[in-house]
Amino acid sequence: MTASSSTSLSAPASAGASQPPGEAPLVLDTDPPRPLGFRDQAAFWLNLGVSLIGFSSAVTVLGTGKAQLSFAASVTAIAVGTAVGTAMLAVAAVIGARTGAPAMAVLRGLFGTRLSYVPTVLNIVQCVGWGVYELTVIAMGAEALTHGRGWHWLYVVLAGAVTTALTVRPLGAIALLRRYVAVAVGVSMVYFTVQLVRQGVPDPGAGNWHGFLGATDYVLAVSISFVPLAADYTRHSRTPGSAFWGTFAGYTVAQVWCFVLGLMALLQVQGDSAKIFDTFLGVTAGWLFFAVLVLRETDQSFANVYSTAMSVHNLFPRVDRRVLTVGTGVLVTVLALPVKEFADWYYGFLGLIGSVFVPLLAVLAVDFFLGRGRHGGWDMSDGAPSRPLMLLPWLLGFVTYQFLAPSDIGAWWTDFWGRVHGWAGFGPQEWTSASLLAFLVPALVTWALVPLGRRGRGAGTPAQDAPEAAARP
């Protein structure tokens, strides 16, 4: 990393290790190539928006028993949650395109280099967790195709090997997704949609809209889970506009389609998510199109493994990224081997992700576009000074989210927030959206702190006098 640059972490391309022309840099302080246009980003995020986990996650929208939403309410929650979450995701995508930095390195400008390690470690944990889940769901899909034969470990190893291979040439992998995989996925989704519509869609809730905002929060959390990954890919965009609209268009269309299709499949098996794959395999030639979706699931594990390595790069900027991606791929594969199915706390994990990264994005966006980033002080160098005050709005956002929607990660956690509700004399209501309020509260607090940030730099400091290159297209 070059300490001489206060607004950029880039050094001349020759500063890093040798790399294939047009590929992602091998070390952190090398200028990233920018070959990705709108179509590349749209295809990449379209592929990420379709997932086998997305089909199963439709159960978080539908609900269970008497709490089930109507079909209309479920589809509306999917559309609203996706649109809001993807708009947040697209904002993070723009920041990556403007700075040219990976997602966790961008946070050096927000918190300072040392304090940026806090969200970096959290992101490593969530990316490894998602990577394990993705390899698990690939193995589950392969087992469904082979009628439950006991080759789970083999499917995990094969999926892990393909995933790791894709991360070695990440921009080449994105080009592959655009040219071939996106088309195959689109054909498969159209086929399954037509088949399930022909079978009819039963309405589970007879007009019930209770729990609508809770369902919306779950959908939003899935989109938000990609916020701390977005810049790892959009840093290679030609323009911020292509990054924003490619991300928004591709991911919105794909996730809405994926969740609605999962909802239709779930209703065919009376809401039993363990049997959802049977719905797809039960249609004519369903095994062929389902196999396409199983194979392309590796783009999900690719994104999580690659972004884990990019996060580790913020801690160890001089280590060759190929060493980091291969090491991460091996780790995720080993961790996935004993996992046979999703644990009960998976949906709590989704909520916890939202409570961490929704407010983090709010703080980042306000400070980047209205605060220090706007005024030329976005310091991503090795020596970026700590900004502990910016931890305050992030913490307030996390508390707001957990107060309104405590994550189901253990009885001790829910009991604690139950006591807080009793002390406050107020608890979650049907009209309270944890995600939206956890974005609004830290955004307003950060906005209030912007003048303090400008005065804190003082006149004539390097950060204040630096050019605004990091905050402009």
CATH of the domain at 158: 1.10.4160.10
Q: Structurally, how many domains does the chain consist of?
A: 1
Is the pTM higher than 0.95? The answer reads no
Whether 372 maps to a domain, the answer reads no
* Dihedral pair phi/psi, residue 30, rounded to 5°: -100, 140
Distant-in-sequence, close-in-space partners of 242: CB < 8 Å, separation ≥ 6 = 36, 37, 38, 41, 97
Whether 127 maps to a domain, the answer reads yes
One-letter amino acid at 468 equals: E
Residue 167 contacts residue 305 (beta carbons within 8 Å):
yes
So what's the pLDDT on residue 326?
96
Whether 340 maps to a domain, the answer reads yes
What are residue 237's DSSP bridge partners? 36
Q: What is the mean pLDDT of each run of 10 residues along the chain (473 residues)?
A: 44 49 85 93 92 81 68 89 93 96 96 96 90 90 81 93 94 86 91 89 70 82 88 96 96 94 84 78 90 90 95 95 96 91 65 84 96 87 93 96 85 89 84 85 95 58 37 36
So what's the pLDDT on residue 327?
96
So what's the pLDDT on residue 465?
35
User: How is the chain split among helix, strand and coil, in percent rounded to 5?
Assistant: 70, 0, 30
> Per residue in 105-147, pLDDT tens?
999 999 999 999 999 999 998 899 889 989 998 998 898 888 7
Distance CA 40, CA 235 (A): 13
Whether 381 maps to a domain, the answer reads no
So what's the pLDDT on residue 433?
80
> Per residue in 334-390, pLDDT tens?
999 988 776 666 667 766 877 898 899 999 999 999 998 887 789 999 899 999 999
Whether 406 maps to a domain, the answer reads no
So what's the pLDDT on residue 455?
58
Q: How many C-beta atoms surround the C-beta of residue 454 within 10 A?
A: 15
If we measure between CA atoms, which residue out of 326, 323, 24, 18 comes closest to residue 169?
24
Distance CA 99, CA 7 (A): 9
So what's the pLDDT on residue 193?
93
Whether 207 maps to a domain, the answer reads yes
Q: Which domain holds residue 288?
A: 35-351
**Distance (Å) of CA 422 to CA 125, 365, 425:** 32, 34, 5
Whether 460 maps to a domain, the answer reads no
Distance CA 163, CA 305 (A): 8
Distance CA 42, CA 185 (A): 14
Give me the percent of the chain exceeding a pLDDT of 90. 52
Whether 398 maps to a domain, the answer reads no
So what's the pLDDT on residue 70?
83
So what's the pLDDT on residue 21?
64
* Dihedral pair phi/psi, residue 336, rounded to 5°: -80, -20
Residue 335 contacts residue 133 (beta carbons within 8 Å):
no
So what's the pLDDT on residue 30?
86
